[in-house]
Amino acid sequence: MTRFDEAATSSGNARYLAAKATVDDRALNRQVQAELCSLMPAGTPRLLEVGAGLGTMVARLLDLGAVVAGEYILLDADRQLLDGARRWLHDWAAAEGLRSDLLPDGLQVGDLRVRLVHAELGSYLENAHAAYADVLIANAVLDLVDVPTILPGLLRLLVPGGVYWFTINYDGESIFAPGHPYDDQIMQAYHRDMDERFRYGRPAGESRTGRRLFHHLRDAGVPPLAAGSSDWVVYPDLDGNYPADEAYFLLSILNTIRDALQEHQDWVEPAVLSEWLAVRGRQLAAGELIYIAHQLDFVGRSPG
């Protein structure tokens, strides 16, 4: 989950993650995705997704035919979201005409066993019994952690020659249109909040994770085999309507910025923040607000 995801889902907000699904669908880089499919192990691989949220990536990979059998572990620190993932995937499978059986710790979708694991990532990495994986997935997660500290342990979860797919990594640019005189001030303060935040007693990400991942991955000995942009782009149609539930997605983005900057009134005056939010809220209600966030995707392989 990105910094936006973290705040929006702090109380188990499955609606936000469901609304974000269509935004991610458009954003995920197709070249990187194609490279992932070419690297995907045959047979019955074990996949591990950290910060898995609602489990929408399971559905994407099944839709692509990139995964048809094996075990898919969904790891998340939010038990409510995992419970929601179980229900969401069961409903999705039914809508797609796929056999789906609920199990005590997850569900079976066709020939794919989906297992839910409730754990905070740092604690999971410290657990000697953590499961090894053929494929490691982190979607909108790495900008929530201290990558130089977490990445080595994360990569140790991969079997030799295993594949990683790290997607939707925020890269320091959010654009709201039409422009507003306070945009730069608001976003500079929000990026500062991202750069200085702590979570679980540890540094928790940064605003330029995307570009810095190139170097972090090389330093870890696993340079990317493919990389590309995965920008969120949300805009209304000519009638002022947003696709699916994406108006709610945009409202969640605005609320996340509000909640973060209300804690830093010395960075942004309350009146400035209030005016900016009021204008953006009116534009959203009128179907005029456009939002773009720059992000990057990566795929690669651990040493064989």
**What percent of the chain stands above pLDDT 70?**
95
pTM confidence score: 0.94
pLDDT in tens, 203-214: 778 999 999 999
Instruction: Give the dihedral of Cα atoms 219, 301, 60, 147; nearest 10 deg.
Output: -20
289 within 8 A of 280, measured Cβ to Cβ: yes
- The domain that holds 76 is classified in CATH as 3.40.50.150
In what helix (H) or strand (E) does residue 173 lie, and over which residues does it extend? strand 158-177
How confident is the model at residue 200, as a pLDDT? Answer: 72
45: pLDDT strictly greater than 90:
yes
Which residue carries 């953006």 as its tokens? 280
Using CA atoms, how far apart are residues 111 and 127, in angstroms rounded to an integer? 28
Q: Which domain holds residue 30?
A: 3-301
pLDDT in tens, 184-237: 999 999 999 999 988 777 777 899 999 999 999 999 999 999 999 999 999 999
pLDDT in tens, 87-138: 999 999 999 999 999 999 999 999 999 999 999 998 888 876 677 999 999 9
User: Looking at the 3D structure of the chain, how many domains does it have?
Assistant: 1
What's the rounded mean pLDDT across residues 137-165? 95
How confident is the model at residue 13, as a pLDDT? Answer: 82
Which pair of tokens denotes residue 187? 């976003």
How confident is the model at residue 89, as a pLDDT? Answer: 97
Question: Comparing 205 with 168, which gets the higher pLDDT?
Answer: 168
Which pair of tokens denotes residue 73? 């572990």
Q: Is the peptide bond before 178 cis (omega within 30 degrees of 0)?
A: yes
What's the rounded mean pLDDT across residues 275-290? 98
10: pLDDT strictly greater than 80:
no
